[in-house]
Amino acid sequence: MSDFGIDKGRVVKAVAIGVLCSVVLAVLLTCLFSMMLNMMSGIPYGIIDYVMVAIEGFSVLIGAYIACVIAKSKGLIIGALCGAISLLIVFAVGMSMTKNNIGLLTVIRSAVMLLCGVIGGIMGVNRKDKVRIK
C-alpha cells in the first residue's frame, strides 16, 4: 500500500488492462468504420476525422471504465491516466505516419480523449453492483 491508500500494483495492472482494451476496441471500431466506408459511397470524406475522434473517445471511455472497475477506487486519476496513455499512443502512431503539424483537430482529439477517460473512470468507480430480485 502506498501513502495515499492506493495499491500501486493494482493501479498499474488496471491502467494497463484499460489501455489495452481501449486500443483493441479502437482498432476494431476503425476496421468496422473502414468497411462501412468501403461499402457506402455517399459518405463525405471530410467527416472521417471527426468520426475517428468519436471512435477514439468512445474506446477510451470503455477502457477507463474497465480499468476503474478493476481498481475499484481513484476513478478520476485512473481514467485520466488511461486517456493520457491512449492519447500518447494515438499521437505517436499518427506522427509516425504523417508529417502534419499539431493542429486544431489534435487539440480537440486530446480534449475528447482526456475527458472521456475521466468520465469513464468516474462511471467505473460509481457503478452499482448487480441488482438481485428475490
pLDDT tens track for 37-78: 888 877 787 888 899 999 999 999 999 999 988 888 888 899
Query: In the predicted model, is pLDDT for residue 16 greater than 90?
Result: yes
First to last CA, the chain: 38
Phi-psi region of 7 (alpha: psi -120 to 50; beta: other; left: phi over 0): beta
Beta-carbon contacts of 39 under 8 Å, excluding residues fewer than 6 positions away, are none
Q: Does the pTM exceed 0.95?
A: no
The three grid cell numbers given for residue 93, joined into one nine-digit string: 502512431
pLDDT at 5: 60
Q: Is the pLDDT of residue 85 over 80?
A: yes
Whether the per-residue pLDDT at 2 is higher than 80: the answer is no
Mean pLDDT on 11-37 = 92
Read off the pLDDT band of 133 (50, 70, 90): low
Q: How confident is the model at residue 116 (pLDDT cuts 50, 70, 90)?
A: very high
Q: What is the pLDDT of residue 91?
A: 87
Contact 80, 114 (CB under 8 A): yes
How does the average pLDDT of the chain come out, rounded?
A: 85
In the predicted structure, residue 33 carries a pLDDT above the cut 70: yes
Nearest in space to 36 (alpha carbons), one of 51, 20, 25? 51
103 secondary structure, DSSP code = -
Q: What percent of the chain has pLDDT over 70?
A: 91
Compute the distance between CA of residue 65 and CA of residue 127 in angstroms, rounded to an integer.
Answer: 9
Q: Which residue has the cell 482494451?
A: 21
CB burial readout 36-72, b (16+ within 10 A) else e: eeeeeeeeeeeeeeeebbebbbbbbbbbbbbbbbbbe
